Amino acid sequence: MSARLATLRDGLVGLIPILLILAVWQAIAVSGIAPRALLPLPGAVGARLIDQLGSPTYLQHAATTLLRLFTGFGIAVALGIALGVAATASRPVEAGLMPLVRVLAPVPKIALYPALVLMLGFEDSSKIALVVADAVFPILLATYHGMRTVEPKLAWVAHAVGVGRLRCTFTVVLPAALPSVLTGCRVALVISCIVVFLAEMIMSTDGLGHLLVRAARNFQTVDMFVPLITISLLGLTLNAGFNALRRRLLTGFPEEQ
């Protein structure tokens, strides 16, 4: 009982800074220190958000963003897991791939965006390619590390009962590395969300990121907040959804941490 009470207390304490920020925002906006054009009322932003979420044009832009996001993320998951498995299963692949990963992983992928635009054009494909470039590394590294740290006894048992090396990789080692793989995917999902938005801000004619830039050019402050909040809510929802999926898939796994 007291544990539940403590959790409740923690939840209430956690609301304080969020409410505080909203209150300070409201106070500054009302007091007139900052002109309304620079800092709209939080209520106005909220009302506009709800308004926009019912507008077909806005949802069309959101759908464009989501399509790019999921296509890129999907390709990154397939590519990342495949490369991770290949690097664990084969020494030559590992020796060739891991130094490349080591060079490319810390490079800001967003800098590749102009090159991707030049090569793939202005439309969806360059943005999807950027999402793939950013999302593939966390997944690849999580798969690789996860599979390498799988309890070797599991593989030994499989070998002892006559399971081949390749089959053992897919039916024993990869499933045992699932917690790590899924963590990598979750991180990559939020990264994809952020990257697709930034790519749309830098160069695009549609999508949520473009809406922010368009509002900024027209000096419509309220409309600048709305896409930003939308993409953040999207990230939060996807993150929470993925966590739920992860718990579901991992029932029976020993809980890590």
Partner 1 sequence: MGRIGALPGVPPLLAGVALLVAWEFAARLIGISGLPPATDALAQLPAILSDPESLLDIAASLRRMAIGFALALVVATPVGLMMGRSRTVAAFFNPLLMVIYPVPKAALMPIIMLWLGVGDASKTLVIFLGVSLPVIYHSYQGSRAVEEKVLWSAAAMGMDAPARLFHIVLPAALPEILIGCRTGLVLALITMVTSEMIARQTGVGNILFNALDMAQYDTVYAMIVIIGILGFLLDFVFERLRLRLVGWAEPAADIIVGTT
CA contacts within 13 A on the Cβ side of 72: 31
Site stretch for partner 1 (CB under 8 A), options 6-14, 65-73, 151-159, 245-253: 6-14
Q: How far apart are CA 36 and CA 173, in angstroms?
A: 58
Site stretch for partner 1 (CB under 8 A), options 56-64, 74-82, 191-199, 241-249: 191-199
CB-nearer residue toward partner 1: 21 or 78: 21
CB-nearer residue toward partner 1: 17 or 32: 17
CB-nearer residue toward partner 1: 63 or 97: 97
Residues 75-134 that bind partner 1 (CB under 8 A): 91, 94-95, 98-100, 102-104, 106-115, 117-119
**In this structure, are residues 61 and 208 in contact, taking their beta carbons and an 8 Å threshold?**
yes
Q: Which of 1, 3, 5, 13 binds partner 1 (CB under 8 A)?
A: 13
Number of residues this chain uses to bind partner 1 (CB under 8 A): 56
Q: Which of 34, 59, 82, 245 binds partner 1 (CB under 8 A)?
A: 34
Residues 238-257 that bind partner 1 (CB under 8 A): 239
Minimum separation from the CB atom of position 252 to partner 1 (A): 26
Minimum separation from the CB atom of position 199 to partner 1 (A): 10
Minimum separation from the CB atom of position 55 to partner 1 (A): 21
Close Cβ partners of 25 (under 8 Å, ≥ 6 residues apart): 39, 42
Minimum separation from the CB atom of position 204 to partner 1 (A): 12
What residues make contact with partner 1 under the rule CB under 8 A? 9-11, 13-18, 21, 34, 38-39, 91, 94-95, 98-100, 102-104, 106-115, 117-119, 190, 193-194, 197-198, 201-202, 209, 212-213, 216, 221, 224-225, 228, 231-232, 234-236, 239
